[in-house]
Amino acid sequence: MAKHNDLGKQGETAAANYLIKKDYIIRHQNWRKGHLELDIVAAKDNTLIVVEVKTRRNTEFAEPEDAVNRSKIKRLVKATDAYLKLFQLDNQVQFDIITVVGENGNFKIEHIEDAFYPPLFT
């Protein structure tokens, strides 16, 4: 596995552990259906929380959350719709971003709740 993939996996694990400490229930990590993917699907207070995790070694070139652009949001919404249908859920959905910056064991984690709302037209 490429070194950047290792960092991404470490970041997702750190993000999931962060959420668990904040009393979130982790339903799935790296959920996939075909080409659709959700990094973390969690639950808290009867709300389904879809978390996009962005991991970087540093913020020298850009902030990690800047990678969640319009096309990424469209893919996340499409994947979330498939998830809701597959598991026959009717929960309120919230989209969060967790940024993880640094090296494994020394990450700075930022949780951006309600980071975006799904567009009306995709």
Q: Which CATH class is domain 3-116?
A: alpha beta
Which pLDDT tens digit goes with each residue over 25-77?
999 999 999 999 999 999 999 999 999 999 999 988 889 999 999 999 999 99
The answer to whether 42 touches 25, Cβ cutoff 8 Å, is: yes
Full-model pTM: 0.92
State both tokens at 75: 């893919």
